[in-house]
Chain A
Amino acid sequence: MKQGLKSVETRYMEERDEFFRALRKLDRRSFIKLSTAALGAVAAHGIIPPNSFQPVTLAYGQTATGTGGSFRIAYISDSHLYEKDVNDRFVRALMRAVDDVNALDPQPDFVFYGGDLAQLGQPKELELGAGILRNLRAPLKIMVGEHDWYLDMGEKWKQLFGEPTYSWDHKGIHFVTLLSVVEKDFWTERGMSPMERMKTVAGLDNSVQSPFSVGESQREWLRNDLARYSDDTPVVVFSHSPLYKLYRPWNFWTDDAEEVQAILNRFRNVVVLHGHTHQMLTNRIGNIHFHGFLATAWPWPYAPEGLPELTIQMTRPDPFNSQDGCGDGEVQVHPDGLVDKVYNFWNRNPLTVARNYTASWGREMVPPRPNRASY
């Protein structure tokens, strides 16, 4: 090729040769460890894998000491189902995610569903979603998204899935699920019908709706729920809205975020896993590490302002592939409660935001940057 005009293949070959040259310098044991994708070992040897060369199996960060166990959970989120004969794509995507999770070996401890199972909160949509999720082999935990709630204010949801706010303990980690899409009543004064209310909330950029919040009663519940746990207890919070303030015009926002964070402040390590944003998103505020879920239905672009510093964007998706920028994923939970967040993109390599990345405030194990970011 003429200088400067290299094909993808040539560039790839050069990268790969470079990588293997570095690899050959390792002794055999390290080499095998490498090939089974211990990303920590790679980082320890100072070898950065080229962007095009990512290990297939999960990357596990250094396991820190703590009071919890070390285990893996899977997640699926934001499927926005319509009935099958209205939109087949969204159904296909959720089925593909369930297929992915069922094929995991070993199976995760449980699967978490991140909310927005239905698109317009209609009973048929929720039932369709529930039916598909019933095919999961591992136990399912689920939370509410705004698309599930605002048609009937959670009536059908509670029938299918029980109370939206709950907590439980698993291997020494305390898990909490919040309903963080509470909106102040904007519909009564406008005389909106339930579907009008739902459609208003369903529009990400619809400014008639109110900002998301957790609300005083749930904050009270949270305070009480956490009261009996020592500051050392690792806490993981599942929330649909991000529990911080990113971009108000798209409700990438929790209005009482500071109050909720204040309740969580006393714990050594808190992880918030949230849906709603349909993208790779990372943040850290004090002791709280925030990670976003991928959607199965469609990807959102990045907000024009307010992006957390720690966030490394995912490559801008290709609209030809309705599943590009989407997928499912896994969360490797460490004993100290911090997590490796694995984004299993469809038709792309998996990307991991490792425990060390947020623990080191973005200095270690930095994920690769996109060549095609949102702009």
Chain B
Amino acid sequence: MTFSRRKGVIVLAGLLVGGILSVAIDWGVGGEVQAVVRQESEKEQGQALADSIMAQWTRENPDRASDWIAEEKERHTVQPPADNSDLLSGGQGEGHAYGEYTELDVLMWAREAEKLVVEGSRIFHDAEALGGTVGVSCDMCHPHASNTHPETYPKFQTQMGRVALLRDMINWCIEQPVRGERMEPDDARMRALEAYIYAQRKGTELNYGKH
């Protein structure tokens, strides 16, 4: 590909500006970012920038550096979220903000949904993350979240002597068999655990009250 001389000057100027700007931005995490401005195409420069940001983060977060989602999924199979690709076609009118979806949208929804579920799987399998004090994690009685029956809530939970929702029972299990401290209902861990448990029962019919 060829540049006309004029375009080349403009691009070079743009690069310089971009380079100066990129160095000037404060990353705020306390480290130094080595952003090297080279005479490359925009795309490659962007990539280089992204790589250096990633390297920075990796140095500061050694535990979570790798793709923790893929790792957790390798360790414990997780049900995938529903397939929404049927939303990509049809619709009542093109280009509408409300009512039209792209592949990237569908991908993003799936990734985000999966993340909460996979985070739940991570906590589910980790006695310390649960706050347990006896080395017991949920998977020790519920491998792959079996026997959790989220589709049966609300129901009279005999162990609690009253009607419970899923998160009430999760809390009961955390307090009793796991011997940890009860979580607040909107604790991020509770939400993740619920997400994982529901996800694993994908496809089961709702049947509240079943014992």
Residue numbers of A with Cβ under 8 A of B are: 82, 86-89, 119, 200, 203-208, 249-250, 298-301, 304, 316, 318-320, 322, 372, 374-375
Contacts and interface: CB of A to CB of B under 8 A. Distances in A.
A375 B75 CA distance: 24
Query: Is chain A's binding surface mostly helix, strand, loop or mixed?
Result: loop
A126 B70 CA distance: 34
B170 to A, nearest CB: 12
B143 A119 contact: no
A207 B74 contact: yes
B144 A319 contact: no
Interface of B: 74-77, 125, 134-136, 139-144, 146-147, 149, 158-159, 173, 176-177, 211
Nearest to A80: B140
29 contacts: A82-B134, A86-B134, A87-B134, A87-B136, A89-B134, A203-B75, A203-B125, A203-B139, A204-B143, A205-B76, A205-B77, A205-B125, A205-B143, A205-B144, A206-B125, A207-B76, A208-B75, A249-B77, A249-B143, A250-B143, A250-B144, A298-B140, A298-B141, A299-B141, A301-B141, A301-B147, A316-B147, A320-B159, A322-B177
Contacts of B173: 319
A299 B157 CA distance: 20
A318 B177 contact: no
Contacts of B134: 82, 86-89
B139 A204 contact: yes
A304 B143 CA distance: 11
A119 B159 CA distance: 27
Given A86-B135, A204-B140, A208-B75, 7 more contacts: A82-B134, A200-B75, A204-B143, A207-B75, A299-B141, A316-B147, A375-B149
A299 B142 CA distance: 10
B75 A300 contact: no
B121 to A, nearest CB: 10
